[in-house]
């Protein structure tokens, strides 16, 4: 007896944010934390926890307190962000 196998959809990578869904924000680094994490203040004085994107890590871009950065933030978790560019 042959049974029809269910169709399997490809697994979507959950870690990557779609660029059209990500919010682009600018902020200022307030403190440097261990593990390439940063506390970043937004224009409305909201603090978020941010990490460096892979391309910045690969190119050894240095970030210090007071640097202005561009970040991508998921609309689902507004307490965390990814730093994608140093201004």
28 pLDDT more than 60: yes
If you average pLDDT over residues 27-46, what whole number do you get? Answer: 96
If you average pLDDT over residues 31-46, what whole number do you get? Answer: 95
Round to whole Å and give the CA distance between 53 and 30: 18
With 0-12 / 13-18 / 19 or more C-beta atoms within 10 angstroms meaning exposed / middle / buried, residue 27 is buried
- Which residues contact residue 46 at a Cβ distance below 8 angstroms, ignoring those fewer than 6 apart? 78
pTM for this model (two decimals): 0.76
Alpha helices, DSSP H only, in 1-87? 54-58
Convert the pLDDT of each residue in 48-76 to its tens digit.
999 999 999 999 999 999 999 999 999 99
83 pLDDT more than 80: yes
CATH topology of domain 23-86: OB fold (Dihydrolipoamide Acetyltransferase, E2P) (2.40.50)
Convert the pLDDT of each residue in 1-14 to its tens digit.
556 555 555 555 54
């Amino acid at each position: 007896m042959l049974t029809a196998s269910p169709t399997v959809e490809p697994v979507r990578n959950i870690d990557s944010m779609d660029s059209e869904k990500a919010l682009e924000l600018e902020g200022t680094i307030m403190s440097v934390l261990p593990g390439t994490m940063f506390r970043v203040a937004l224009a409305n004085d909201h603090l978020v926890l941010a990490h460096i994107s892979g391309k910045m890590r690969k190119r050894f871009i240095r970030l210090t307190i007071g640097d202005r950065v561009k970040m991508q933030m998921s609309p689902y978790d507004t307490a965390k962000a990814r730093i994608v560019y140093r201004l």
